Structure 1
Amino acid sequence: MTLFLVLGFVGLALVLLTLLVGDHLEAAFGGAFNALEGDVFSTAVIGGFVSAFGFGAAAAEGAGLPVLPTLAIGAGSGVVVGWFAWWLTKLVKDGPSDGTVSIGDAVGQVGRVLTPIPGGDSYGVVRVSVGGHVMQCNASALLAIEAGAEVSITGVLSPTAVTVAPVWKPES
C-alpha cells in the first residue's frame, strides 16, 4: 500500500508542478514529453494518471483485494482521470480567443469625433470602441464634421486613419 500511496503523491506533485510552471516543466525534461506529439502525453495527463493509479490501487489494496484486481482498479482510475485531464487541457487550448484588434475591425462601428474634421483631404480625430478596446484614429470625411458628433467608420485609409460619415438621425 505504501508504494501505491507514494505513486499517488508523486503524480499529485507532478500535477501541481504542471499547474505552477506549465510548459517550463516540459522544457526542463528536454522535451521528453513532446516525443509523442499531441496533448495525450502531456505532463498534466501523466501526472493525473499516476496520481489516480496510485490512490485507486491503494484504496483497493486497503479494502483487502488481491493484487490483480488492485492493479485493474488503479489502472481504471488512472485512465479515467488521465482522460479527464486530457479533455480539460484540450478544452483550454482549443478555446476561443478574441485575438488582436485591428483598425479594420472598426469599419461599421459608430465613434465620436474628438477634434473637428474639416472635410476634404484634412484630418480630425475620432474615438471608437471595438470589442471593448478604445481606439483613437485620424479621420477624414467628405464634409466637415464638428467635435462631439457621432460618426460611422466607413473605411480604412492606413493603419492609423479611417474614413467616416455622419450618423444620420431622423428629425422627430
Structure 2
Amino acid sequence: MTTFLVIGLAGLVLLGISLVLGDLFDGVLDALAGDVFSSAVIGGFVAALGFGAAIAQSAGAPLLVAIPVGVVAGVVFGWFAAWLTRLVRGGGSDDLPAAEDVIGRDADVITDIPADGFGVVRVQVGGHVLRYNARADAPVTVGTAVHVTRMLSPTAVSVAPVWGDLELPPAP
C-alpha cells in the first residue's frame, strides 16, 4: 500500500507542477493524441492510479485486484483532466467588444446630454463596461435609462430614452 501512496503523491506533484508552470511536455506528445497526453492528464492518471489502488488494498483487496481498480480510477480521472484541459483552452477570449456590439443595448446616462451637445453613457457588453460620448434628440438627465440607436464615431453613439409604462387616458 505504501508503494501506491508514493505513486499517488508523485502524480499529485506532477499535476501541481503542470498547473503552476503549464504543460511540461508542451508539444512533445502531441503526435500521439493531442491533449490526451498532457502533463496534467498524466499527473491526474498517475495520482488516481496510486490512490485508487491504495484504497482498494486498504479495503482488503489483493494486489491482482488493486492494480486494475487503480487503472480504472486513473483512466476516469485522466479523462476528466483531459476534458477540463480542453474546456479551459477552448474558453472565451479577452477581446474587447466591437463598436457595433453596443447598438441595440441599454445604457445609463452618467453625465447630462444637452440638446445641442454630448454627454456620457455607460454600456455593458459581454462583461465589459464601456463609456461613450452620447448625443440625443432631446436633453437627457443623469440616471435616465437610454437605448443605443447607432454609432456616430468610434467614441460616440446616438441614444434615445427607454420608454416607460405608457399611461393611458381614463376610459370615458
State whether TM-score is above 0.5.
yes
CA contact (8 A) 2:4 2:51 kept: yes
Find the counterpart in structure 1 of residue 96 from structure 2.
100
What's 1:145 paired with? Answer: 139
Q: How big is the shift at 1:165?
A: 2.5
Separation of aligned partners in 2, 1:114 and 1:57? 66
Q: How does 1:1-172 map to 2 (within 5 A)?
A: 1-21=1-21, 23=22, 25-26=23-24, 29=25, 31-36=27-32, 38-60=34-56, 63=60, 65-66=62-63, 68-94=64-90, 100-108=96-104, 109-112=106-109, 114-119=111-116, 123-131=117-125, 133-141=128-136, 143-148=137-142, 149-169=144-164, 170=166
- Does structure 1 conserve the Cα–Cα contact (< 8 Å) formed by 2:118 and 2:135? yes
Contact 1:45 1:85 in 2 (8 A): yes
Alpha carbons of 1:3 and 1:125: their partners in 2 closer, same or farther (altered >3 Å)? same
Q: Is the contact made by 2:140 and 2:161 (CA closer than 8 Å) also made in structure 1?
A: no
How far has the Cα of 1:12 moved from its partner?
A: 1.1
Deviates more, 1:98-107 or 1:12-21: 98-107
1:116-159 C-alpha deviation (Å, 9 max, x unpaired): 3344xxx4022123145433212234x34244354321011222
Specify the code of the residue in structure 2 equivalent to 1:159.
P
Q: 1:80 to 1:145 in 2, by over 3 A?
A: same
Return 5+ residue gaps in structure 2 as ranges: none
Q: C-alpha offsets along residues 69-107 of structure 1, whole Å, 9 cap, x if unaligned?
A: 343222222112212222333444445668633432322
For the residues of structure 2 that align with 1:150 and 1:82, how far apart are their CA atoms? Answer: 50
Uncovered stretches (5+) of structure 1, i.e. residues with no partner? none
User: What's the Cα RMSD here?
Assistant: 3.2
The answer to whether the 8 A contact 1:101-1:130 is kept is: no
How many residues are treated as equivalent by the alignment? 163
Distance change >3 Å, CA 166–CA 71, structure 1 → 2: closer
1-structure distance, mates of 2:46, 2:162: 62
Aligned mates of 2:163, 2:69 — CA distance in 1: 70
When residues 107 and 55 of structure 1 are mapped into structure 2, their CA distance, relative to the original with a 3 A threshold, is: same
After superposition, the Cα gap between the structure-2 partners of 1:57 and 1:135, relative to the gap in structure 1 and judged at 3 Å, is: closer
Contact 1:33 1:43 in 2 (8 A): no
